[in-house]
Amino acid sequence: MKVLKWVVKRFFPKKLLKGIKDLRLKVKGRKNERLFKGQNVICPCCGKMFSRFMHYIDDHPRFKDTYKNTQCPYCFSAPRHRIICSYLENNIDNVFGKRDNAIIMFGAEYSIKKWFHRNGFRYVTSDLFDRTADIMCDIQNTPFPDETWDLIVCNHVLEHVPDYKKSLKELQRILKKDGLLELTVPTDRNFETVFENPSIVSKEERTKIFGQYDHVRIFGNDFENILVELGFSVEVIDGNNLPNNIVGVIGPANYDDNRVYLCRKNVTKTDQ
C-alpha cells in the first residue's frame, strides 16, 4: 500500500493527483456533515454549521489534552484556520478592496482554499515537495520578483525549513509595500525563545521533541519580537477573543496556541 501511494504521488499527472486529493476530502466531508448535523458551532472557512467540531485523533503526547472539538467535520479546519478566515471575513474590504489581488499560499490548506473559493478569490499555491502545488519552490529562495504579492498566507511552514529567518526575509522581499503577510507557527509557551537543535536529526527524535517527524524547531514567547526585529509591524489576533462557537479551544496540539500574526512592512513616508 505504501509503495502504491508513493508511485501515485510521484508519477500521476499533477491535475489528476490534485483532483483525487480534493475528491477524497469532499467525500469524507459530505459524510461527516451528516454525522455532525446541527447548529451549535460554525466554521468560517466553509461557512457550514454543525452539532460540534470533531476530535483530532493523534497519539502524540502533545495532543493528549487538546485534541477534542478542534476540527471542522466538513473542511477539516483547525482553530487557527477559523481565526484566519474569520479575520478575512470581517476585514474583506480593508484587506483586499478588490478581487484581483495577487494571493499566494505557502503550504496550501484545504480549509483556507474553501474560503477563497466561496468568496471568489483566485490564488496561487506553493510548496517545496507537494507536486499538486501550482509552483514548487523553496520559501527561503523563491523565484518571485520584489513586491509581487498583496497577500501571503503561510501557516505552519517555518518549523520545517532549515533557516526560518532567511524565509521571513524572503517573504518580506516578495510582499508588496501595502501587502499583508499572515503567519502561524507552532509555539510552546514554556519556551522563552525558539528551540532548535541541529543535532536532532532522526525522525523519532524530532517527533518526540518537536511533535512531528519533519519539524526542526518549535517557537517560543518571543516570536512577535523576532518579526518586529526583522522589520515587520505586527498585529496579533488571539483566538481566545473569538466566540466559542468558532474557536472554543486550543488545539489540536498543545503547540497550536490560537495566535495569528498579521505582518505588514514598515514603510517610511519617503518609501511611498
- Closest by CA to 251, choosing from 106, 8, 96, 60, is 60
Strand 175-184 relative to strand 259-265: parallel, antiparallel, unpaired?
A: antiparallel
**Sole window of 46-54, 87-95, 100-108, 216-224 interacting with Zn ion (rule: CB under 5 A):** 46-54
Q: Does the protein bind Zn ion through residue 46 (CB under 5 A)?
A: yes
Q: Does the protein bind Zn ion through residue 43 (CB under 5 A)?
A: yes
Q: Does the protein bind Zn ion through residue 216 (CB under 5 A)?
A: no
- Which of 72, 108, 194, 216 contacts Zn ion by CB under 5 A? 72
Partners of residue 236 on adjacent β-strands: 261
CA distance 210 to 213: 8
CB nearer to Zn ion: give 77 or 187: 77
What DSSP state is assigned to residue 240?
G
Q: Which three-class secondary structure state does DSSP give residue 184? A: strand
- Which of 32, 77, 155, 184 contacts Zn ion by CB under 5 A? 77
Q: Using CB under 5 A, which residues numbered 176 to 215 contact Zn ion?
A: none
CA distance between the termini of the chain: 56
**Sole window of 58-66, 70-78, 127-135, 200-208 interacting with Zn ion (rule: CB under 5 A):** 70-78
Residues that bind Zn ion (rule: CB under 5 A) add up to a total of: 7
CB nearer to Zn ion: give 78 or 218: 78
Kindly report the number of other CB atoms within 10 A of residue 22's CB atom: 13
Which amino acid, one-letter code, is at 70? T
Contact footprint for Zn ion (CB under 5 A): 43, 45-46, 72, 74-75, 77
